[in-house]
Each structure stands twice: as structure tokens, then as C-alpha cells.
Structure 1
Amino acid sequence: MNNSNKMFFFFFLIFSTLISISSNSWFGCWIGLEINLLSFIPLISNSNNLFSSEASLKYFLTQSIASVNFLFSIILKMILFKTFEMNNFISIMINSSLLMKMGSTPFHFWFPNIIEGLSWFNCFILMTWQKISPMILLSYYINKNFLFIMMILNTIIGSIGGLNQTSLRKLMAFSSINNLGWMLASILISENLWMFYLIMYSFLISMMCFSFYMLNLFFINQMFIINMNSMIKISLFINFLSLGGLPPFIGFFPKWIVINFLIMNKIFLLTFIFIFMSLIMLFFYIRIIYSTFMFNYFKLKWIKIYINNNLFYFINFFSLISFMGMIFNTFYFF
């Protein structure tokens, strides 16, 4: 972040999201999304990864298609918003283009491919900050039936897509797609709940991305042979389970509130699918952790890692907060 170019584009990335969500016209929202796209591309292509230029081109193409679709829809809305049928069609068009910007199903195919070519910091931005403006714009013009289908598809594809992945970045991408289904449910309930869910999810994803960045991990098999400190292993274990939404941990808390609201509104099928798909997510998280713990005997002297970095104390501290989640959860009842 010492690079002044990076700082400039990073500032514009944040600024453009604020333009989108505080705009009072659809056209202003579209301009904000465009600035957001053009400020994120230099951040991608600036990294030293071999796939970064390919990723930036793919990102530009998909986001441009979504932007054109969005602009076309809002112009169509200005001209033909008289009839109900047309209004319904335009709402689906606008929702689709915003879902495409987020990397939601069925427009999700670009998302894991692009994440594979990014650094961990850029992965974190794409999985958290880049979802804010499309999600808030989506809340302005919701087509409820369409979004229910999208929620179900997101949770199913996010959980099943991660089963056969060996890359940790792709695994995080499918985890993000799964959590997007939960976020769509939370934004239908209330914007405050969605904000709380996003903050919790960002907190957990930042812990994961930061840990992987510090250890220079990109694939699951690296976790088998790496000679990690037991504290690092335990903190990864806690954060993975919290991200999966296991009850004692803090990641379960926002999911619990969403489930509560869905049951109160008698949406039982969606609740069942959400819970069932969370179990599949937990299965492949536990598979990674189990392998990391079990393969401890395979010690290679030349791959021993010494991390003399105080930042790992922060990770352990935040993991403790994640572990204390049940105490925060019980406050919800009082």
C-alpha cells in the first residue's frame, strides 16, 4: 500500500461505492458502479500474479455486460413503466444485472475464475466491499419471487461447487456465493440485518485471507506439508468453523437471526435448504482442517516456517472473539 497509484485507486474504489448508495437517481447509481469497476481493475492488474492480467480482462468484460444491461433496463424503465407486466420484466432485468455484478448464480461462472488470479487482499475486496453497492441498489427495486429462486440457487451451487476444489481461493469464492444467498435473505428482512451479516462475514473472511496471506497458502495440499505452529492451526480451525456457521462460534449468530425471521414468516422450505447446505459447507471446511491436523507427522525440515510477526497475535485475539460467539449469541435473547 506504499504505492501512491494503488492508494489513489483504492480511495476511488471506496468513494465510488458511496456515490452509488447515496445517489438519488438510477443514472447516478450507474455512474458510481462504473467508477467502481474502473478503479478496481488497476488494483487487480498491479499484482505480481501471472494470471492477474487475464483476471482483470475477464472482470472488465463481465462487469461491462452487467453495466450495459443495467443502463438499458433503467432507460427502458423511464420509457415503459406504465404496465404491470412490463414493470415486472424490468425489475427482473435490473435484479439480474446487479446479481451479475455481485457474482451471484446463475451468473457466477466468472467469480471463481477471477478470484483464482487475484492476491489475497484483492480477493477480500471482491468478496466483501464489491458486494455493497449492488446489494443496496438491489434493495431499492426487489422482485421477491425472482430473488427467492436466486437464494436457493446461491446456497446450493455455493455449497456443492466447493466440494471438488483444491484451490483455497476458489473454495473461498464458492463460500462467498453460498453466503450471498444468506445475504439476499437478510436484505429482504431488513437492511440493518444485512449490514450486520456483511460486517460479520467481512470480519471472518478478513481473518481467513490474512492468515492465508501470511502463510503464503493457495492450495489445500500446501496445508498438509507446512509445518505450522499449533496456535495458528487452532485459529484457522476456529475461523473455518465460524465461517461455516457452527453454533458456538460468532459466524452462527447472523445466520441464526436470518433463520429466526424465516421461520417466523413460515418460509420453511428455504430455511431447510439453507441449513442443509450449511452442513455441506461445514463438511468441506472440516475436511481441510482434519487433513491439516492429521498430517502433522510429515515434518520437512526445509519447509519449517518461522513467523516473527506481531500481526499473528491479532489473528489469535480475533479468533478468541470468534470463539466467544456463544456469549454474544445469548445476549440476543435478553
Structure 2
Amino acid sequence: MFKNPSKLLFLITLILGSIITISSTSWIGIWMGLEINLLSFIPLMMNSNNLLSTEASLKYFLTQALASAVLLFTIIFFMMNKEFFSQINLKSYFFNIIFLSTLMLKSGSAPFHFWFPEVMEGLTWMNSLILMTWQKIAPLMLISYCIEMKFLIISIICCILIGGLGGLNQTSLQKIMAYSSINHLGWMLSSMIFSEALWLTYFLFYSFLSMCVISLFNMFNLNHINQTFSLTKMNPVIKFSMFFSLMSLGGLPPFLGFFPKWLVIQALSSINQMFLLFLMVSLTLITLFFYIRVCFSAFMLNYTEMLWNYSFYYKNFNMTILLMISFFSLFGLILISVIYPMF
């Protein structure tokens, strides 16, 4: 992606579009930033080596254009009828609902998630990482500015439920990561109930762990679960790194990914959201099942290893860095005990 100057230019424009949206003080600035971000990501999605990239680009463009159009017309409609809606005290409520719906459609949150897994399946791993992380920053930031509690709780439950159940019958790793992202979106939306700093912390941890997992998938060119059978002939350290990264992304203690989830659990329990918290924890356990499916074949089969595998992977600097990140996840529980008392 970065070897092509035009791709690099589009990537810079994509970043600037999100920054414009976040820092804007007017509705037209917010809409303009979202459109710049959209039009910059479409060329990045195009890939001549991937036949599904054109279809994914078209689906993404139509969905995002629909959300942007609804957002723009909603802003214009309520600004033109400001006096009428202010008299009947309905402006704020209806505006928040429609505004949140369009932003959730842009971010791929349930129940507006219909496009997200299909688009993910047609992208390369690096573009999938951008869609799962950076493309969610601007919509989530805008959602945190305009919270409608009842509607937000419904969306949280839908994200946790669909993100868990949707990935059970999938064999495509892109779709599994898509439903995993929907599940994590539920946790991010729930953290917005407590504070803005909490969801930003969760998002940073989620982006870091997603980068680790997707880098491993991209390095070994894995796209389906049955391809993980090839891991049976790899170095055991590689397979353990895959296992640690996936379990950490699932939030299993004592891995690093449990830290942001524990912060959200503590925050929601402090504001008496126990029923919501119970649903979130219970339904999130389902995601661990399809995480285990990904690395199940590598651990449960007998295999023979060739000696050259060891020397090859240890000389690969990128692989060494990812292994260090995965093994450092074991110290997540220690990090929790040290850092959390500081909050």
C-alpha cells in the first residue's frame, strides 16, 4: 500500500478527513470531513489482485453515501424547522435518534451492521485493519457528543448479541474479525455512558490488539479457518503467539485485552448498570468460542516439524516483534494491578 505514492496520498487525505470531522465546530465541517474520509478510502480499497474488492468498494460507497445523505438532509430539515420543533419539545429527541442512526450505520454498529461483514470479506488485511480501527474514530467521536441513553443501550445489546452469534457459523477469517469488531463496538458504546476517556482507552487497546492479530493473518496469508491447518507445520512459538493474540483480543484474563474490559466493568458497576453489564459479559463469552476455533486445529493435531522453520522465523524481525507483543500480553494482569489504582 505504501509503495505506491498515490495510495500514500489517499491515506494522508483519509487521516485528514477524520481530523477535520473531529475538530470541526459546524455541521457543514462535520459532513465535509466525513465525505473526504469516504472518498479517500475508496481508492485504497481497490485491489487488482482481489476480485471482490470492486464489489466491496461499491457496497461501502453506497452505504456510506446513504448515511451521509440522511445526515445532511436531517441537519437541513431541523435547522429550517427549528421554531416548530422547539415549541413541541421534540427537536432534540428525534434529531438525536436520526443522528445516532446515521453514525452507527457509518461505523458498522448493530442493528445497522448489514454491510460490514460483506465489505470486510472483499478487502485485503491491511485495508480491513483500517476499516476496523481508523474508520471508526470519527463516527464514534460524534456519537459520544450526542448520547441518547435508551437508544444507545438497545444498540449495545444488539452489538454484543450479533457480534457473538454472527461469528459462530463463519469460516472466513475476515467475517470472523468483522463480527468481533461489532462485539467490541458494543463495549465501546457502553464505555461512552461513563466517560469519553474510557472509550478512547478501550479503542486504543482494541486497535493495538487487532493490529497484532491481523499482522499474523497477513504474514501467513490466512483467509479461512481451514487454512489454519497449515499452522501444524510451523514453529510452536508461532502457534502460541496466534493463540495469545486471539485470546487477548477476546478479553480473556490474564491477557492484556482483559484490561480495558475490566475498566468498563468497573465503570458500569459504579453507576448501577448491572443488568447491562451481565448481558455484556455473558454474550461476550460466545466470541471466545470462535476465537478458539481459529487456532483449534493447530493445537489438537499431531504434527512433524522441520528444523529450517526455527531459523527462518527467528531471523524475521517483524515476526520477532509480534511474538514479543503476544508474550507481553501475559503480563496484562500485572499491568491491571499496577495501573488501575492510579485511576
Q: TM-score with structure 2 length normalisation?
A: 0.93
Which of 111, 115, 132 is residue 106 of structure 1 equivalent to?
111
Aligned residues: 333
> Secondary structure, in 3 states, of the residue corresponding to 1:297?
coil
Q: 1:37 and 1:64 mapped to 2: Cα distance?
A: 8
Aligned partner of 2:163 among 126, 146, 158: 158
- Give the gaps of 5 or more residues in structure 2: none
Deviation at 1:305, TM superposition (A): 11
Contiguous gaps of at least 5 residues in structure 1: none
Structure 2 residue 223 is matched with structure 1 residue 222: no
In the TM superposition, what is the alpha-carbon distance from 1:289 to its structure 2 partner? 2.0
| 2:246 pairs with 1:240 | yes
**1:221 alignment partner AA:** N
Partner of residue 333 from structure 1, selected from 306, 316, 341: 341
State how far apart, in whole Å, the 2-side matches of 1:316 and 1:271 are.
Answer: 33
Correspondence for 2:3: 2
The corresponding residue for 2:271 is 265
Q: Which moved more, 1:276-285 or 1:162-171?
A: 276-285
Tell me the equivalent position of 2:73: 72
Q: CA deviation at 1:290?
A: 2.3
CA distance in structure 2 between the aligned counterparts of 1:95 and 1:258, rounded to whole angstroms: 21
> Measured at CA, do residues 113 and 305 of structure 1 come closer, stay the same or move farther in structure 2, by a change above 3 Å?
farther
What's the offset of the Cα at 1:283?
Answer: 1.6
Shift of 1:298: 7.6
Match status 1:292 vs 2:293:
no
Amino acid in the other structure paired with 1:173: A
**3-state SS, counterpart of residue 123 of structure 1:** helix
- Is it true that 1:144 corresponds to 2:145 in the alignment? no
Partner amino acid, structure 2, of 1:291: S
Whole-angstrom CA distance in 1 between matches of 2:278 and 2:334: 26
For residues 264 and 8 of structure 1, what CA distance do their matches in structure 2 show?
A: 45
Query: Is 1:208 aligned to 2:187, yes or no?
Result: no
- Distance, in Å, in 1 between the alignment partners of 2:239 and 2:110 is 32
1:318 aligns with 2:325: yes
List per-residue Cα deviations over 1:189-215 (Å, max 9, x = no partner). Answer: 111111110110000000011000000
Question: Could you tell me how far apart the structure 2 residues matched to 1:79 and 1:305 are?
Answer: 69
> CA shift at 1:46, angstroms?
3.5
Describe the superposition over 1:253-276 as per-residue Cα deviations: whole angstroms up to 9, x where unpaired: 111111111111111111011101
**SS state at 2:341 partner:** coil
For residue 38 of structure 2, what is the aligned residue in structure 1? 37
Whole-angstrom CA distance in 2 between matches of 1:260 and 1:47: 47
Q: What residue is the counterpart of 1:188 in the other structure?
A: 193
**CA displacement at 1:299 relative to structure 2:** 7.5
Shift of 1:105: 0.9
- State TM-score, norm by structure 1: 0.95
- In the alignment, is residue 88 of structure 1 matched against residue 93 of structure 2? yes
> Match for 1:277: what amino acid?
L
1:225, distance to aligned residue in structure 2 (A): 3.2
Greater Cα shift, 169-178 or 320-329: 320-329
